[in-house]
Amino acid sequence: MRTTDFSKTPPQGQATAMFVGATRYRGPLSIITLTLTWFRMVRDMKRMRGYRWHKIYWEFPYTLGTLAFFEDRDALLRFARSRHHRRLMQWVTDGSKNATGGYIRLYNAEPEGYSNGVWRAEGGPMAHIETFTPLSTERAAGDGEGPRVRRG
């Protein structure tokens, strides 16, 4: 089940860079104004080399967030430099008249991970792992393997 081959996974499983962010907008008018640039930005993002997948989430009352997956960090950063994204970020950070807060986090996938069943590239079986992935303290302890998985 451990693998470094994610070629059979859905697009987000093939990504190695992930963006997580959210913005708390000032109110309904800000969200309506946002849509003028938003749709053009998403259209451009989907056309960019390295784009894999994204999802939008909402938190009451005026927070919109995004999870976006890219082939690699360079693809993610190329998107951040795009015309519509820059325009949107300038609008969002223009004092507090449009938005009152926000954050961005960038994550990189480790080369190894897990897959099984239909998404497993190394054959068809849905194999179990024999040892857990080691914690940072277990790596320092020696052999680079975590404790054995006990089947109950």
Q: What's the whole-model pTM score?
A: 0.86
How many structural domains are present in the chain?
Answer: 2
Each residue's pLDDT tens digit, 17-69: 999 999 999 999 999 999 988 999 999 999 999 999 999 999 999 999 999 99
Q: Which residue has the higher pLDDT, 139 or 12?
A: 12
Question: Residue 120's pLDDT is what?
Answer: 84
Query: Based on the domain organization, do 25 and 95 belong to the same domain?
Result: yes
Under DSSP, the state recorded for 130 is S
**Domain region containing 55:** 17-108
Q: Is the peptide bond before 125 cis (omega within 30 degrees of 0)?
A: no
Q: What is the CATH number of the domain that holds 26?
A: 3.30.70.100
Each residue's pLDDT tens digit, 98-151: 999 999 999 999 999 988 888 888 877 777 888 888 888 886 555 667 888 888
Query: Based on the domain organization, do 22 and 3 belong to the same domain?
Result: no
Question: Residue 52's pLDDT is what?
Answer: 98
CA distances from 32 to 5, 11, 35, 83, 126 (A): 42, 30, 6, 20, 47
Question: How open is the CA angle 107-111-117, to the nearest 5 degrees?
Answer: 105
Q: 36 with 88: CB under 8 angstroms?
A: no
Strands 113-114, 2-3: pairing is antiparallel
Q: How far apart are CA 78 and CA 83, in angstroms?
A: 10
Query: Based on the domain organization, do 30 and 82 belong to the same domain?
Result: yes
Question: Residue 121's pLDDT is what?
Answer: 84
Query: Based on the domain organization, do 21 and 89 belong to the same domain?
Result: yes
Query: Based on the domain organization, do 79 and 24 belong to the same domain?
Result: yes
Query: Based on the domain organization, do 85 and 51 belong to the same domain?
Result: yes
In a 3-state reduction of DSSP, which class is residue 48?
coil
Query: Based on the domain organization, do 44 and 61 belong to the same domain?
Result: yes
Question: Residue 36's pLDDT is what?
Answer: 87
Query: Based on the domain organization, do 78 and 42 belong to the same domain?
Result: yes
